[in-house]
């Protein structure tokens, strides 16, 4: 059983659509990281959150630690948002991350 | 550009060999993390150093070792290489030693073991 489940695994959207990527985990965590991996392989940290909600531009991340669930939303999606999005819960037993398998997003013009 | 540099970008070597990957963190960052990304395992946390000392250990094989030097750059040493070690190796840095700090990722080193 995977400790981290992301859904959907693959997502194709039309430009301008509202997108939601979900992350569920089974372990106790203290925080969760959302990462974006570009087609060329580079990784960018989008959010690190331990409660509530964070917003950066068109990106919004929410987390409910008790329900063991986090979501990443993209408003007004754009082709440049095409990437793999990875959630990484941080174990509350130490400085260790688990990683989801990622959601591959393609935004079509 | 995250400010984190990794060298080399690509490395091709043979089974049984030893290689060293290098990471320079962002100016002022004290913590360095190493990650491995392979096709079958996805991203995995290997090890973290903070100000020269090991802070956390993940799924790092005994054939692998790392260190952080006084100038805060870090090296990941991979020995007795196997085909399955072929992967992208990323390092990331953060200001402090806590993993809930924002991390900045380097461009990665692509290792191919033939």
DSSP B32-73: EEEEEEETTTEEEEEEEEETTEEEEE-S--TTEEEEE-TTS-
Chain A residue numbers touching B110 (CB-CB < 8 A)? 41
CA distance B22 to B66: 10
What does the pLDDT look like over A81-106, one tens digit per residue?
Answer: 999 999 999 887 766 788 898 999 99
Distances in Å between the alpha carbon of B14 and those of A10, B10, B60, B83? 35, 14, 20, 8
By C-alpha distance, the chain A residue nearest B39 is: A101
Question: Binning pLDDT at 50, 70 and 90, where does residue A1 land?
Answer: low
How close, in Å, is residue B52 to chain A by CA atoms? 16
Q: What is the mean pLDDT of residues B27-54?
A: 92
In this prediction, residue A98 carries a pLDDT of 85
CA distance A19 to B37: 26
User: CB atoms < 10 A from the CB of B56, how many?
Assistant: 20
Q: SS3 for B21-43, per residue?
A: EEEECCCCCCEEEEEEEECCCEE
Name the token pair of A54: 């964070």
How close, in Å, is residue B91 to chain A by CA atoms? 10
Test B58 with A96 for CB contact under 8 angstroms.
yes
Q: Are B47 and B57 in contact (CB under 8 A)?
A: yes
Chain A residue numbers touching B42 (CB-CB < 8 A)? 99-102
């Amino acid at each position: 059983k995977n400790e981290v489940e992301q859904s959907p695994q693959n997502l194709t959207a039309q430009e301008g659509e509202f997108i939601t990527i979900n992350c569920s985990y089974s372990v106790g965590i203290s925080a969760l990281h959302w990462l974006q991996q570009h087609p060329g392989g580079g990784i960018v940290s989008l959010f690190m959150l331990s409660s509530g909600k964070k917003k950066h531009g068109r990106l919004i991340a929410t987390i409910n630690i008790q329900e063991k669930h986090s979501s990443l939303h993209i408003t007004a999606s754009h082709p440049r948002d095409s990437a793999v999005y990875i959630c990484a819960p941080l174990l509350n037993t130490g400085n260790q991350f688990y990683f989801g398998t990622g959601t591959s997003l393609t935004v079509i013009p | 550009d995250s400010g984190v540099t990794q060298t080399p970008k690509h490395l091709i070597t043979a089974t049984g060999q030893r290689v060293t990957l290098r990471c320079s963190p962002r100016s002022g960052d004290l913590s360095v993390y190493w990650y491995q990304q392979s096709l079958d395992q996805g991203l995995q946390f290997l090890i973290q150093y903070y100000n020269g000392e090991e802070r956390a250990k993940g799924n790092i094989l005994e054939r692998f070792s790392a260190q952080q030097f006084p100038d805060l750059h870090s090296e990941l040493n991979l020995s007795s290489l196997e085909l399955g070690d072929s992967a992208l190796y990323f390092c990331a840095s953060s200001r402090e030693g806590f993993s809930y700090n924002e991390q900045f990722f380097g461009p990665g080193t692509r290792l191919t073991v033939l």
